[in-house]
Amino acid sequence: MGSGLMVSPKSEVKIVNMMFHPLTIVDPVSKDIKIQVPSSGLTARVDLSSTLDSTILTKGTEIPVVNIKPANIKVIDGQGNKFPFPEPCVGTVFVVSTMVAGILRRPDVLSPDTTKAGAIRDGDGELFAVTALQSFK
């Protein structure tokens, strides 16, 4: 089973965390931290557009239902400057939100595995780590 990444499975890769918060990956059994990757200072975001799809009626009130479509992916730095998403780079993976990864569907674009099996949550249900990264290739 191939990874689709631009490196061999045992080669070291650079992880560029394009989320606004640190990425923490823990061992699935011991929950010991395997790696923490700080934010790169660049955040990948999806611009969405919407069109009215339909309405629903509840308790005598009509509620609009819109159809959402991704317009484009942008990268924003700490000063609010916008850039295009990086092109693939040998030996580099970009970690982004699940929404961004699902839209881009590139083998070098991964997101934290926030499935029930992969998410590690605190007593309040807040996500604080994952056990893996996920791909939408």
Specify the pLDDT at position 11.
84
Average pLDDT over residues 32-53: 94
| Domain tally, the chain | 1
Q: Considering the domain boundaries, does residue 25 fall inside one?
A: yes
Q: Say whether pLDDT at 122 is over 50.
A: yes
Select from 96, 129, 94, 122 the least CA-distant residue to 108.
94
What is the pLDDT confidence band of residue 5, given thresholds at 50, 70 and 90? low
What digits encode the pLDDT tens for the residues 43-77? 999 988 899 999 999 999 999 999 988 878 999 99
Domain around 119 = 14-46+76-135
Asked whether residue 116 is assigned to any structural domain, the reply reads yes
**Residue 3 domain flag:** no
Instruction: Quote the pLDDT of residue 58.
Output: 96
**Domain-located, residue 29:** yes
Average pLDDT over residues 101-112: 95
Q: Is residue 61 part of a domain?
A: no
Q: Which amino acid is at 62?
A: E
pLDDT at position 1 is 40
- The reply to whether 92 falls in a domain is yes
Residue 70 vs residue 101, higher pLDDT: 101
Q: Judge if pTM exceeds 0.75.
A: yes
Kindly report the number of other CB atoms within 10 A of residue 73's CB atom.
17
What CA–CA distance (Å, rounded) separates 88 from 91?
A: 9
Considering the domain boundaries, does residue 70 fall inside one? no
What is the average per-residue pLDDT within 83-91? 94
**Tokens 């998410």 -> residue:** 119
